[in-house]
C-alpha cells in the first residue's frame, strides 16, 4: 500500500481515469447522436423529435444514476461498532491472545452481529478498529469499511454498497436502454452511409461509428446487469459470492435470502413507484439484515428489525 502523500494522490488520480474515459464516451455519443444524427442527418422532423425526446430521457436517467453511484460516499459502520476507549487499550495489550477474542465476543453481544469468521471469532477490522457489522467488509481502495460491500467499481471509482447499490443497478439498467435506443435508431442511417445511399458529409464518420460502439457497450452493460440482477435475486453481494457468510451453524451462501420479492425490496424499497428513480429507497440501515436461519446463539441479541425479517422471510 502507498505510504507517502504523493503516492496516494497519484493513485487517486489514476483511479479517476476510467471515469473520465466513460464520460468522454458519453459526451461524444451525445454530440454524435443529437447533433450529427438527429439534427444533420435525419430529414423527417417528426422522426427527429421523437428520437430526441426518448434519447434525452434515457441520457438524463443514465447520467443521474451514474453520478449518484459515483458521488454517494460508501456508508461506514457507526460509532456503536467501534471499541470504547477503555476497551481499546486492553484490546491492544492483549494482541494475539485469547483475551482479545473474549473482549470482542463480549462487546458483540450488545450488537446485531450474527456472522463470524471461518474460525468462529468475531469479525473485526484491524484497519478501522471496528467490529464489522454483518455483510460489512473493508475496501483497501476507499480505505474504509463499507456496509453491505458488493465490490469496488473502477468505472465509477467508488465502492458499491448499501448506500448506492440501487443507483448502481439502475446505472446498468439505463445503460442497456440507452445503448439499445442508440443502436436501434442509428442502424439504418449507418447502413445508408456505408452503402453510399446517403451522400458523404462531416456526419458520416460519427454516425457509422455510433452504432457499433453502442452495440459493444450494450453487450458489456447487459452482462454486468444480468450478473448483478442474479445476485440481487439471491440477496448476495459479489464479496459474498467468493467468501460465503459464516453463521453459528456454519457457512450458508443463502443465509440472507428471504425470497425474491423481499430480496428485491431490500435494495429498491417497498414503493414500486420509486424503483426507476435514482433516489434512496433501500430498506434497513445497512447494519443488520434479515436472515433465514433459526438456529441462533441464545447469547446473541436480535434486533426488532431482524426478528421481523425472521418471521416473514422465506427460502429461495
Catalytic residues: 153
CB of 144 within 8 A of CB of 39?
A: no
CB of 301 within 8 A of CB of 109?
A: yes
Helix (H) or strand (E) holding 247: strand 246-247
For residue 114, count other CB atoms closer than 10 A to its CB. 24
How many whole angstroms separate alpha carbon 44 and alpha carbon 233? 44
46: helix, strand or coil: helix
What are the residues facing 130 on neighbouring strands? 82, 125
Kindly provide the residue ranges of all beta strands, DSSP E only, lying in 113-169, ordered along the sequence.
124-125, 130-131, 137-139, 144-146, 151-153, 158-160
CB of 102 within 8 A of CB of 289?
A: no
CB of 243 within 8 A of CB of 278?
A: no
C-alpha cell read off for 51: 428520437
Amino acid at each position: 500500500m502507498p505510504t507517502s502523500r504523493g503516492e496516494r494522490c497519484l493513485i487517486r488520480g489514476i483511479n479517476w481515469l476510467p471515469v473520465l474515459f466513460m464520460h468522454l464516451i458519453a459526451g461524444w455519443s451525445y454530440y454524435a447522436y443529437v447533433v450529427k444524427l438527429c439534427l444533420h442527418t435525419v430529414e423527417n422532423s417528426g422522426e427527429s423529435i421523437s428520437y430526441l425526446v426518448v434519447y434525452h430521457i434515457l441520457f438524463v436517467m443514465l447520467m443521474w444514476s451514474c453520478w449518484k453511484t459515483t458521488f454517494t460516499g460508501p456508508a461506514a459502520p457507526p460509532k456503536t461498532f467501534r471499541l470504547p476507549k477503555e476497551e481499546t487499550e486492553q484490546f491492544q495489550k492483549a494482541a494475539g491472545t485469547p483475551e482479545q477474542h473474549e473482549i470482542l465476543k463480549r462487546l458483540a453481544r450488545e450488537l446485531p452481529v450474527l456472522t463470524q469468521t471461518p474460525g468462529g471469532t468475531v469479525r473485526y477490522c484491524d484497519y478501522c478498529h471496528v467490529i464489522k457489522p454483518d455483510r460489512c467488509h473493508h475496501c483497501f481502495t476507499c480505505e474504509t469499511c463499507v456496509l453491505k460491500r458488493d465490490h469496488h467499481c473502477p468505472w465509477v471509482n467508488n465502492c458499491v454498497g448499501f448506500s448506492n447499490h440501487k443507483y448502481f443497478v439502475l446505472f446498468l439498467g439505463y445503460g442497456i436502454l440507452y445503448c439499445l435506443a442508440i443502436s436501434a435508431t442509428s442502424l439504418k442511417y449507418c447502413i445508408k452511409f456505408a452503402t453510399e445511399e446517403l451522400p458523404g458529409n462531416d456526419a458520416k464518420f460519427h454516425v457509422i461509428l455510433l452504432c457499433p460502439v453502442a452495440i459493444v457497450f450494450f453487450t458489456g452493460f447487459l452482462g454486468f446487469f444480468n450478473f448483478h440482477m442474479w445476485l440481487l435475486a439471491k440477496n448476495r453481494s459479489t464479496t459474498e459470492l467468493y467468501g460465503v457468510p459464516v453463521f453459528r451453524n456454519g457457512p450458508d451462501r443463502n443465509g440472507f435470502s428471504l425470497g425474491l420479492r423481499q430480496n428485491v425490496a431490500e435494495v429498491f424499497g417497498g414503493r414500486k413507484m420509486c424503483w426507476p428513480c435514482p433516489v434512496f429507497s433501500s430498506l434497513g440501515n445497512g447494519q443488520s439484515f434479515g436472515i433465514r436461519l433459526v438456529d441462533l446463539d441464545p447469547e446473541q441479541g436480535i434486533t426488532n428489525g431482524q426478528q421481523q425479517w425472521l418471521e416473514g422471510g422465506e427460502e429461495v
